[in-house]
Amino acid sequence: MTIKKDQFELNRSQKNLRRDVGRAIVDFNMIEDGDLVMVCISGGKDSYTLLNILQSLQKYAPIKFRIHAVNLDQKQPGFPEHVLPQYLEELQIDYKIIEQDTYSIVKKKIPEGKTYCGLCSRLRRGILYNYAESLGADKIALGHHRDDIVETLFLNMFYGGNLSAMPPKLLSDDKRNIVIRPLAYCKELEIDRYAKLMNFPIIPCDLCGSQNHLQRQSIKSMLRQWDKKNPGRIESIFRSITNVSLSQLADVGLFPFRDLHIERELKRRLDVAELV
């Protein structure tokens, strides 16, 4: 009975994720016929789920696309190097483990107690972008989900003073790569549930995950409290990102506020002309 229940929960969770991923791919035209999609695998629940769902969609999608999985081994002490190669070998998927000691660079450059995430992300992004270009990948798929996007929105507002988040599809600044986030519509709770049901071999990020009082953790805690008190709030916030009214904000570079003028005289002349 337990096995049947677990299988039912697994099938339902996968169905939910496939629906959301499929909708995001269509809405943003993330994957096109013939694409080579480079899927970045970190060893966390999000990237495992991303790879699994894309593989599932690959079987039924009306278009043909290839998947190449990539992991960046940053040479963190104690990192279980065997886990991902073993898992990817079992999947019989095309993959590459890139070995680059970014760990030593981050530890050397960032003072003890400070957040490593910024520099670590920049180094990782540069390495992955360069590899994608050498591979000839059409898209780089990352495992960021809906909650990541909302958290980034508040991080940028609270600490950066700008209204921006993570776009589901992005052309890199140097125009060399397109980054896609197929999990953009997926809830973190659903991904967490699916990862547990699938029993993915999760590898924790000990480099920055062990640091306390990170800004993102603070935002995550705030949002969870909000959603617990008012269920659906995170979903509502995410919908607002997809429903932007520039005229109701205050960016003079994006909306022509200076050019706004009343049109009473014009309307009066038109009214007079109609009477005549």
Dump pLDDT digits (tens) for 100-111: 988 888 888 877
* Residue 184: Cβ within 10 Å count: 28
Q: Torsions phi, psi of 17, nearest 5? A: -70, -40
What gap in Å lies between CA 201 and CA 49, rounded to an integer?
11
Q: Which of 120, 124, 116 is nearest to 98 (CA)?
A: 124
| CATH code of the domain occupying 2-211 | 3.40.50.620
Record the tokens describing residue 53, joined without a space: 């769902």
Q: Is the dihedral of CA 219, 225, 229, 231 positive or negative?
A: positive
Q: Which of 11, 19, 1, 59 is nearest to 182 (CA)?
A: 19
Contacts of 53 (CB under 8 A, 6+ apart): 14, 17, 18, 21, 182, 183
What gap in Å lies between CA 235 and CA 108, rounded to an integer?
40
Domain boundaries, given as residue ranges, for the chain: 2-211
Alpha carbon of residue 184 to chain centroid: 6
Q: Contact, 201 vs 85, CB < 8 A?
A: no
Record the tokens describing residue 164, joined without a space: 């921006």
Give the pLDDT score at 138: 98
Question: Looking at the whole model, is its pTM more than 0.75?
Answer: yes
Low-confidence ranges of the chain (pLDDT < 50): 209-213
Whose tokens are 């540069």? That residue is 126
Give the pLDDT score at 68: 98
* Residue 61: Cβ within 10 Å count: 14
What gap in Å lies between CA 89 and CA 98, rounded to an integer?
16
Q: What is the pLDDT of residues 184-242, one digit of tens each?
A: 999 999 999 999 999 999 997 655 544 444 788 899 999 999 999 999 999 999 999 99
